């Protein structure tokens, strides 16, 4: 049983949310890739008992920038954005998370960015204090957290290179290739981009006109196909890969 996510801005857990439960872990589609993958069945079941399975609708926020770090979560399904506010109040998307990713700030007092669902999403949500205590007693989980932290650092460094050195075409190609790796395509090979073209432009540090122009050119040359408002089919992944370092 799942419930809709509906909590106050202070991050409190839904009072009637049901524990994830061991059976949910057995059937969890991300159990072999999520932060809890290194735990044995007994420890995973113990962790699930402090968690809650919640459902977000697109547009709902689960964590707020600068707020108390009260919850952490495994993403079971869906796509969410990490965002921070600039001095003049504008939003800057600083990351995108997908199924099997981990969100929140364990062992931290404050949340560094807001986390908002771009699509409908399902989370396995934990009170941060309870999760921290569990992690301190389980070295395997601490190791996975360290691995995730180092992976995030590597991605951040790669993103700094993308923003600082790559051309507009390389940026858009890199973004589409990443989407193709992380999102599930439908039966026709089409992935539904969770970001609008304006949001893609904001993420890549360019303009919406540039993003549209590059995607149109990739369609013209047969590298991708554009389907509807946000659908993209990666027709030639090798050619798209080549464009990420085209110079």
User: Domains of the chain: which residue ranges?
Assistant: 3-161, 167-243
The answer to whether the CB of 2 falls within 8 A of the CB of 122 is yes
pTM for the model stands at 0.80
- How far, in Å, CA of 21 to CA of 46, rounded? 9
pLDDT digits (tens, 9 = 90+) for 15-61: 334 445 444 677 788 888 888 888 888 999 899 999 999 999 999 99
How confident is the model at residue 209, as a pLDDT? 97
Q: How far is CA 90 from the centre of its chain?
A: 21
Q: Do domains 3-161 and 167-243 have the same CATH topology?
A: no
CATH number (2.160.10.10, 3.40.50.720, 2.60.120.10, 1.10.3470.10) of 3-161 reads 2.60.120.10
> Burial code of 40-64, b = ≥16 C-beta within 10 A, e = fewer?
eeebbbebbebbbbbbbeeebbbbb
CATH 3.40.50.300 applies to domain 167-243: no
Q: Locate tokens 């196909």: which residue?
A: 225
Q: How far is CA 120 from the centre of its chain?
A: 12
pLDDT exceeding 90 applies to what percent of the chain?
A: 60
How confident is the model at residue 247, as a pLDDT? 58
pLDDT digits (tens, 9 = 90+) for 103-157: 999 998 899 999 999 999 999 999 999 999 999 999 989 999 998 889 888 888 8
Q: Please say if the pLDDT value at position 159 is more than 90.
A: no
- How far, in Å, CA of 106 to CA of 115, rounded? 15
């Amino acid at each position: 049983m799942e419930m809709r996510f509906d909590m106050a801005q202070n991050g409190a857990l839904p009072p009637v949310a049901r524990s994830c439960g061991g059976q949910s872990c057995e059937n969890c589609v991300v159990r072999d890739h999520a932060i809890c993958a290194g735990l044995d069945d007994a420890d995973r079941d113990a962790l699930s008992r402090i968690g809650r399975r919640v459902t977000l609708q697109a547009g709902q926020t689960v964590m707020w920038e600068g707020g108390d770090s009260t919850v952490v979560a495994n993403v079971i399904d869906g796509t969410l954005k990490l965002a921070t506010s600039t001095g003049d109040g504008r939003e800057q998307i600083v990351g995108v998370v997908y199924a099997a990713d981990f969100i929140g700030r364990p062992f931290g007092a404050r949340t560094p960015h807001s986390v908002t669902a771009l699509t409908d999403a399902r989370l396995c949500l934990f009170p941060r204090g309870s999760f921290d205590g569990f992690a301190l007693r389980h070295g395997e989980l601490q190791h996975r957290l360290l691995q995730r932290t180092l992976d995030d650092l590597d991605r951040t460094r790669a993103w700094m290179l993308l923003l600082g050195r790559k051309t507009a075409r390389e940026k858009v190609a890199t973004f589409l290739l990443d989407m193709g790796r992380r999102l599930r395509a439908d039966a026709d090979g089409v992935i539904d981009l969770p970001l609008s073209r304006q949001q893609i432009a904001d993420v890549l540090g360019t303009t919406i006109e540039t993003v549209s122009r590059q995607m149109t050119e990739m369609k013209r040359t047969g590298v991708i196909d554009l389907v509807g408002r946000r659908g993209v089919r990666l027709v030639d992944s090798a050619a798209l890969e080549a464009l990420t370092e085209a110079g």
